[in-house]
Structure 1
Amino acid sequence: MASFSLRNATKPCSDCLITFMLAGLEYEDGSYANANTGMWLHHVVLLNLAQKDTVCPSHPERIFASGNERTPINICANGTQKAGYHLTSSASLLIAPELMNTSPHPRSVYITLTYEYIPSPSPLSFSPIKLIWLDIGGCGSSEYSLPPDSEPAFSITSPAWSASISGEITFGAAHPHDGGLDVKVLRNDEWACVSRATYGESEGYREEGEGEGGREHEHVSGMSVCWGLGRMERGEEWGVVVRYDLDAREPMRGMHGDLEPVMGIALLYVALDADEESEDLLE
């Protein structure tokens, strides 16, 4: 496993509205890299160092993330929502990936980021977006280490976050690790949406002989996304619950067979109301 960060990452545009983001992983020859060839995009996070995070204001602003399932982040909901993330001319991007190589040999890969954007900071009737990052780790580490006596089936609930903004939720996505069944988004202790995991949908997410009893090991290959969540209002309590079953689905394990930490994250993109449209600069 290798973690690193790249400051002053190239911006796709300046003073523009980003409406779509997608992460990928490729070998040097441009071919597809995934679990079946021993290379994982364990996760990647994109941050704007010039602004504060909405949920954790002591941190820089998180604007995008992806696990190895590589969910397309469709902020404008296929063009049905007039909204996008305002990437200002003063924005300073940092990319923070974690990659995993299950081969015994070092290999070179490229992380790819695909964007769609409108080359204007404020097209008519478009609202700026804020990412709401809901995490079982709260504002601490996103990785949750399981106790040795943990039951195979369990759930973990995040701390509640009291909404500090109001606006329409245009899109929601989620991320667990292998063994995860679903991630539920809670609004005032009631389910707002459920993002369900699918496994082994394509060849890249299947490894022969790696599962229990030598069977094919299937990895998380997709997470259902959330549309039509309605509005977020100031003062509402938001959170997530992630559900795992390590008997039903093979979990991630380290080099010596020990269980890897788990995650449970939801990303909600909120189109701000007109009276919320201000820039929170990181001092």
Structure 2
Amino acid sequence: MAGVLRADPLWVETFTGLRMKQFERLLKVVRERGGDGPRIGRPWCLPLADRVLVAAVYYRTNLTMRRLAPLFGVSPATVCRVIQRLRPLLAPEPASRPVDAADRLWIVDGTLVPVRDRKVGASSRNYRFSANVQVIIDADTRLVVATASPAPGDRADAHVWRDSCLPEQCQDVTVLGDGAYINTGLVVPHRKRPGRPLPADEEADNAEHRQVRARVEHAIGRLKNYKILRDCRQHGGGLHHAVRAVAHMHNLALAA
């Protein structure tokens, strides 16, 4: 790998959060999805391994193109072209539905990602122009199972859930959600009625529900270690690709 990667291999773990073997698996996915071709026009000034590293570092650090360029000895325009070319290749389609999906427990939650693209986001409750991103994880493995296309941040989680492709992917699977997903068919906490305290057994159910559902909040917190999800400057489908790419790298780091 060292002969392919021109940058110092120490950069991989320092700037991407992936160990070398995990980065090699990421590189393999990009190569299999056509990262090296078609070779039309001038050849790339960086090998594929370094180009994948450029994109991974961008997602992890959210540095501007102008700041990334000197780290790799290229121009900001080259960094921009590399990211535009590789961002869909770093974001593979969700894995095929496992055969034992009906026996598993999944958890869903929405998170707000600040964006610059006015066509993607909306003024939100976090006082930022944001997009609502829905994330599903497996309760046992903590791996990201699926993500939905970003929706305007002023939309409720239940509405975003219903309008997304996630309900189809979750057929016959038990999915936990918080109180925002009421009347969606998900397992949600018992509602407390005004002036009527919950029975002891329902309070116990809610406490267990909170304990399990916290896993998705922890997973989203780890996803946001990739700072692209704290202030996304990408336009168009850039945020969707960024979410999927970050979920892919998160799964690589967690599964190994």
User: If the length of structure 2 is used for normalisation, what is the TM-score?
Assistant: 0.24
Q: Which has the higher strand share?
A: 1
For the pair shown, which has the larger CA radius of gyration, 1 or 2? 2
Q: Which has the higher helix share?
A: 2
User: If the length of structure 1 is used for normalisation, what is the TM-score?
Assistant: 0.22
